Chains A and B, each alone.
Chain A
């Protein structure tokens, strides 16, 4: 069930209204039922893996907490093995066999066939990581194992976050679930704020992401037809698409949770305003970045070690992040590229300072900061080519053509309108992007989410913005028969 579907438009009001009306002690059960209904609406059979992951980590958590210090680690690793084993079998076996068969083929041997055929359960990477994070928290003594199975099952399956995150921590979501019977719940401003975020998320997804996806898909799927101009526009388009797509989902999840009086992790903080790649990863997919930081990078030694070891830790973390996104070499290269960006960033730090000093470059002014933002944006966009391309060879082909087929005349002869979106659609896109830019500027400079910003404004302005957003989604949203339902990109992970 997508947030931008008719089913959700019926499901959510019903789920929320019942939630507000039933006795406090039934709230957890109701949300759990609603979450499973939400999850099963997409693919009922995959609920088995959700239940398995829930039960394994629930039991594992209790075992780790009660075990003698010597056995804690063993139980934790056993739980990891079970959870990651399922994830590995379902998500990475194809990739592994593909590579093994390539090697076997080169050695003149027959291929190994996959012994089973099960698709990838939606959201499995998210809920697996969420429950493993919980395990580590218990092992470290940061949180107590949850004894109430209903509370824990809701923590793993909470419907606003189960499909695409944010990957929640026990210290946040589980704590709020435990406090559920004490919550006052109905608060007019909070519900209105949550719905405002939901509306803006719909705008970002249906008007921008799904529209610009038409252009990005056209260019990436037919990259051999385009030169420097078209391929650069395509790469920028995908850079915007993936942000709008994923950030919109996170914003909607945030809004939906807020209506239900849950505060979940903010997953994006205007990442394309970052002035360095390090900053980018503090603003992009924050829940995953922090997960890898806390549960992989720091245990590996983090940055409190020698340079070589630090770079190794960085590279391992980013390669793992790449693999988390998908089982293919494209994602591995994408992760590796980001690791490389980090290492180069460290190495160039001193050089950059010396050059600035010699050239008397002002570094505390708008133009310098803008330059940093643009460079970061370009590096990010370049890396997204590997992320989006249909294969690793396509990614290299794409980049090769982008660098060797100059066709700048297309910038002036209307070539922009031959990339899948005509002039009218382009105009709609530009205006929508301007609206998004304004919202992101508010977020960046005033450090406020849209709902908080609007709540401070006069009624006429607030209502005008909301009505304009409703009209924009209703008119310019990409939906209805004739369009394939545009799934959120991060569902596949």
Chain B
């Protein structure tokens, strides 16, 4: 009997371990909502001075790394996709169990929400990052009239993800070597150009919020008062704003004024930020990484001058903010390299990299059309004469120093953290294969693949087509 009992306990432990691991692998790992909350729990208690709450307009528009770099402010974005104010309220309640911020900034774009319940797939999943708690239960209940238990368990919702599993599902922090240092910011590295921002200066009247939205706005105010933490309301700037939305924001401003809460409506102040609608928007609703930096710099200055916030730079306890800032800078550099269309500037950026890149240069066909100083620039990068003369492949940077000239037979494999890179030269042919896909973009020109060891990711693979004046081919 005793033996059977022990056997049962061991079997149940194995089954529990199996289910736990399955939950770990299959769990949703959305950067917009779930991961920021999970990472929030890993922050040292009492280290965050400014908490930003809200929706995508928070996690995509406010970059804590900029606040850190500029003023040494330790801040965190705790926000979820499409997050209505009732989700924000419970995010605030939950976060205050672990942190005691000196200021709480609530981004209010979702005050426009008029429905009592919105898409479950988008909003209820925002609760999945929360630990089991009264706040989590209430957050789910207020978000959906159905399925409390499955949403609370989570697993019944995401168990069928087996068709979409990827490497990130099996790696800690989504395989990002600096993912642990993230402060909830989720940059948008795309650009959509607009001629102008929407002019809302003429919209002066206001409209009431929907009852549920106003109820939770009032609850947010009450919570801040109860906790005696200064509250700031803000509206992120976005190009696609319409008059009715501005009228609701005006009402938010009136409520803020009644309650003595600072209200920063950046749709009315975008010129102060220096926003350029041609370069700073990701799409009509969100700023891209350039616009985000401008908004974040303004907020950094405004917060530093209006609140007594310590400069934590250099403090060992805040090393993760330092790491996050370095990660941000590197990712922005990588993005700028990705956006570079000219071969000369592209190669110059490679040359200026301070030791985080491995790059592969593949010279194919008549790569030098004789019209531009291609050979000289490549030689400066270290491409040997043999490759310059006969074409072939040169590997430079961190894992560099290798060359496979055209007309020879050779290959090499580089094992990177994200995926392996295989380079082959056979007679007049060459191949550069990364993660199973060819990185050769042109058969007559300069092919370049860049891998960044700092971020552990492929930066870009481009070609400059000699036949078309070295036009960039992605």
Partners in one complex: yes
User: Which residues of A are interface residues toward B (Cβ below 8 A)?
Assistant: 6, 188, 192, 422, 424, 459, 463, 466-467, 470-471, 474-482
Interface check B159, CB cutoff 8 A: yes
Query: Cα distance A188–B149 when bound, in Å?
Result: 31
Summarize A's interface: helix, strand, loop or mixed.
helix
In chain B, positions 1-49 with a C-beta closer than 8 Å to chain A are 1, 4, 7-8, 11, 14-15, 18-19, 22, 26
Q: Nearest residue in B to A471 (C-beta to C-beta)?
A: B18
Write 13 A-B pairs (CB below 8 A) sorted by A numbering: A6-B150, A188-B1, A463-B14, A467-B15, A470-B15, A470-B19, A471-B22, A474-B159, A475-B159, A480-B150, A480-B156, A480-B159, A481-B120
Query: Cα distance A475–B1 when bound, in Å?
Result: 33
Query: Cα distance A477–B147 when bound, in Å?
Result: 18
CB of A480 within 8 A of CB of B160, answer yes
Interface check B238, CB cutoff 8 A: no
Interface check B468, CB cutoff 8 A: no
Interface check B302, CB cutoff 8 A: no
Interface check B307, CB cutoff 8 A: no
Interface check B157, CB cutoff 8 A: yes
- For A466, the chain B residues whose CB sits under 8 A away are 11, 15
Interface check B76, CB cutoff 8 A: no
- For B19, the chain A residues whose CB sits under 8 A away are 470, 474
List 17 extra interface pairs beyond A470-B15, A480-B157, CB under 8 A: A6-B150, A188-B1, A463-B11, A463-B14, A466-B15, A467-B14, A470-B18, A471-B22, A474-B155, A475-B160, A476-B162, A478-B160, A479-B156, A480-B155, A480-B160, A481-B147, A482-B157
The 9 closest A-B pairs by CB, nearest first: A480-B156, A481-B147, A188-B4, A424-B163, A481-B150, A480-B150, A480-B157, A470-B15, A474-B22
A199–chain B nearest beta-carbon distance, Å: 10
Query: Cα distance A482–B156 when bound, in Å?
Result: 10
Binary contact track B149-180/A, C-beta < 8 Å → 1, others 0: 11100011101101100000000000000000
B27–chain A nearest beta-carbon distance, Å: 13
Q: Please pick, from A467, A471, A479, A481, the residue contacting B146 in the complex, using a CB distance under 8 A.
A: A481
Which of A6, A463, A471, A480 gathers most chain B CB within 10 Å? A480
Given A188-B4, A463-B14, A467-B18: A477 and B146 within 8 A (CB)? no
- For B149, the chain A residues whose CB sits under 8 A away are 6
Query: Cα distance A480–B147 when bound, in Å?
Result: 9
- For A478, the chain B residues whose CB sits under 8 A away are 160
Q: Please pick, from B11, B22, B156, B163, the residue contacting A481 in the complex, using a CB distance under 8 A.
A: B156
- For A459, the chain B residues whose CB sits under 8 A away are 7
A421–chain B nearest beta-carbon distance, Å: 12
By the criterion of a CB under 8 Å from any partner CB, how many residues of chain B are at the interface? 24
Query: Cα distance A480–B157 when bound, in Å?
Result: 5
Query: Cα distance A467–B14 when bound, in Å?
Result: 8
B16–chain A nearest beta-carbon distance, Å: 10
- For B162, the chain A residues whose CB sits under 8 A away are 424, 475-476
Q: Nearest residue in B to A422 (C-beta to C-beta)?
A: B163
Q: Nearest residue in A to B154 (C-beta to C-beta)?
A: A480
Query: Cα distance A474–B27 when bound, in Å?
Result: 13
CB of B120 within 8 A of CB of A477, answer no
CB of B151 within 8 A of CB of A481, answer yes
Given A424-B163, A481-B157: A475 and B22 within 8 A (CB)? yes
Query: Cα distance A478–B160 when bound, in Å?
Result: 8
B313–chain A nearest beta-carbon distance, Å: 46
Query: Cα distance A482–B151 when bound, in Å?
Result: 11
- For B150, the chain A residues whose CB sits under 8 A away are 6, 480-481
Query: Cα distance A467–B21 when bound, in Å?
Result: 13
- For B18, the chain A residues whose CB sits under 8 A away are 467, 470-471
Q: Nearest residue in A to B163 (C-beta to C-beta)?
A: A424
- For B163, the chain A residues whose CB sits under 8 A away are 422, 424
Which of B14, B120, B156, B162 gathers most chain A CB within 10 Å? B156
Binary contact track B283-306/A, C-beta < 8 Å → 1, others 0: 000000000000000000000000
In chain B, positions 122-170 with a C-beta closer than 8 Å to chain A are 146-147, 149-151, 155-157, 159-160, 162-163
- For B14, the chain A residues whose CB sits under 8 A away are 463, 467
- For B22, the chain A residues whose CB sits under 8 A away are 471, 474-475
In chain B, positions 96-125 with a C-beta closer than 8 Å to chain A are 120
- For B8, the chain A residues whose CB sits under 8 A away are 192
A41–chain B nearest beta-carbon distance, Å: 15
Query: Cα distance A481–B144 when bound, in Å?
Result: 12
Query: Cα distance A6–B147 when bound, in Å?
Result: 11
- For A188, the chain B residues whose CB sits under 8 A away are 1, 4
Query: Cα distance A465–B247 when bound, in Å?
Result: 63
B157–chain A nearest beta-carbon distance, Å: 5
Query: Cα distance A475–B160 when bound, in Å?
Result: 6
- For B15, the chain A residues whose CB sits under 8 A away are 466-467, 470
Binary contact track B429-473/A, C-beta < 8 Å → 1, others 0: 000000000000000000000000000000000000000000000
- For A481, the chain B residues whose CB sits under 8 A away are 120, 146-147, 150-151, 156-157
- For B4, the chain A residues whose CB sits under 8 A away are 188
Q: Nearest residue in B to A482 (C-beta to C-beta)?
A: B157
B7–chain A nearest beta-carbon distance, Å: 8
A457–chain B nearest beta-carbon distance, Å: 14
- For B120, the chain A residues whose CB sits under 8 A away are 481
- For A480, the chain B residues whose CB sits under 8 A away are 150, 155-157, 159-160
In chain B, positions 215-257 with a C-beta closer than 8 Å to chain A are none
A311–chain B nearest beta-carbon distance, Å: 50
Q: Please pick, from A6, A422, A467, A475, the residue contacting B26 in the complex, using a CB distance under 8 A.
A: A475
Query: Cα distance A477–B11 when bound, in Å?
Result: 21
Q: Nearest residue in A to B21 (C-beta to C-beta)?
A: A471
Query: Cα distance A333–B19 when bound, in Å?
Result: 47
B145–chain A nearest beta-carbon distance, Å: 12
Query: Cα distance A477–B26 when bound, in Å?
Result: 14
Binary contact track B301-332/A, C-beta < 8 Å → 1, others 0: 00000000000000000000000000000000
